[in-house]
Amino acid sequence: MAEALSSLRWRLAVGDRVAIFAMVAVLGCVALCVALATRADLLVQVTAIAIVLVLLLLGLRWPLLLLFVFAALIPIEEVVKLGEFGTLSRIAGLLFAVVYGLPRLGRLTLRAMPLPAWAFVGWAALSVGWALDQGAALAELPTLIQLFVVAVLVADVVVHGPSVVHPLLWAYTLSATVAALVGIVPLLAGAVAPGLRIAAFQGQDEAQFAAVLLPALVFSLSELLNRRHLVVGAAVAMACSAGIVLSGTRGAWVSMAVVVILFFLPRLRARQRIAVVVVTALLVVGAVQLPGAAALVTQRAEVALSSGGSGRVDIWSVGIAIFGSAPVAGVGFANFPVAFTMDRIVSSAATANPGTSRAPHNIVIGTLGELGLVGFILLVLFLLPLLARRGWGSEAAVVQAALASLMTAALFLDVLSNRKQVWLFLGIAGGLAYLRRHDGASLAERPAIPAGTTVASLRGM
């Protein structure tokens, strides 16, 4: 209690009495929220306020606790949605930004996030001025900015304490494993008909479910290759690979193949390469043995061959026509569906009508259409260095591979502007890249910032 009061006093720059009053006030508000929830039909709103207050109080004592909570909640964020407050992971991310970012505002390593990243987000914001539908752009832009801010802060955490990366990856991975099991168990129990695509939660998109599992599978394979946490790593790999196969998401299947071929095999010796191929084959064969998995894989492959990837080829043809209408600046951030009109379909090379107001399902086509050549060049300058060169430290390779899995999935899914796991890994990769550029060995000797950061350690940094 004394340490908590000391932390609160230091962060709020107040005396003991005010700090005690603030703590009591927070706890009192939580109690009041509970009381109100039992008396009024405001359960969701009151619960959200109570959660915010509790997380805020804990975050004032342990700032990085909120980062771990944020990472762990991403894979399971669709369990609970608190109305207009959004998901629990969104609340944790915003609180982390406030509790960690504000006290360090003048000392943040803003350069840890590459300059093209700042320029890309800035260009997206500017595009509101020429967007076809400014309302659509303004509705989506705050999400991109929030995720970018969190990524900047994550990069700063990594720069000052790279030892945080490994436990942070485990926090995300274990949560993703839970999500995978939630999706798989009903199938094994007979509650879901074999041959249907699965997801973890009701209403969750199967492709986004697979995108959540990708980084966890990459990390678990890395742990197995490095002979760390073999039992847990094997269990995670089996659960996540099964979830990805049963999701029926072809983009995720391609992503894992790309990661294994381009990011795992080239860095290994001959025997290790054989081991990777064998392990990967065993995971795939094991997943296909699950009820309905073989039929699902066959059916999804046939659909891809007959329809061009569920009509994606036609969508991308229309996207090229949208890009041609505004090649330099684009039609505006989040305005691809707005520009996807019947007139544009007719003027494109599409062989079938994919319907209007479609999302791009491709990071290249989507960026070219919405932000033009300028936005696309900025995005390439932002992402390519993080994908082509791994950062500093023992976790750099797996972070690079995990990010590559997400970016490969982004060639088939819409994940860049609204998926938290993408920006979490962009932040980690940005921090490790900064350490590589600025003598990581000497920077890493600075005190780390573990989840249980104390006031004294923060003052000394």
Output 102-108 pairs: Cβ under 8 A, ≥24 positions apart.
103/11, 103/63, 103/458, 104/156, 104/458, 107/461, 108/152, 108/153, 108/156
Q: DSSP states of 3-71 as a string?
A: HHHHHHHHHHT--HHHHHHHHHHHHHHHHHHHHHHHHSS-HHHHHHHHHHHHHHHHHHH-HHHHHHHHH
**Max Cα separation, the chain?**
72
Residue 410 CB burial class (10 angstroms; 0-12, 13-18, ≥19) = buried
Q: Is 86 left (phi over 0), alpha (psi -120 to 50) or beta?
A: left
Helical H segments across 62-114, by residue range: 63-73, 88-96
Tell if the pTM clears 0.75, that is, is over it. yes
pLDDT, residue 14, reads 44
Task: Answer for the pair 209, 74: CB distance below 8 angstroms, yes or no.
Answer: no
259: Cβ contacts below 8 Å, ≥ 6 apart: 218, 401, 404, 405, 408
pLDDT, residue 167, reads 94
Q: Which of 401, 407, 377, 375 is nearest to 389 (CA)?
A: 401
pLDDT, residue 82, reads 62
227: Cβ contacts below 8 Å, ≥ 6 apart: none
Task: Answer for the pair 224, 162: CB distance below 8 angstroms, yes or no.
Answer: no
Q: What is the CA radius of gyration of the chain?
A: 23
Quick one: tokens of 220? 């678990």
Which residues of the chain carry a pLDDT beneath 50?
A: 1, 4-5, 8-15, 18-19, 23, 26, 444-461
Quick one: tokens of 382? 């932002």
Distance CA 339, CA 184 (A): 38
Task: Answer for the pair 308, 277: CB distance below 8 angstroms, yes or no.
Answer: no
Q: Which residue has the tokens 């230091």?
A: 10
Interval 83-92: pLDDT, tens: 666 778 888 8
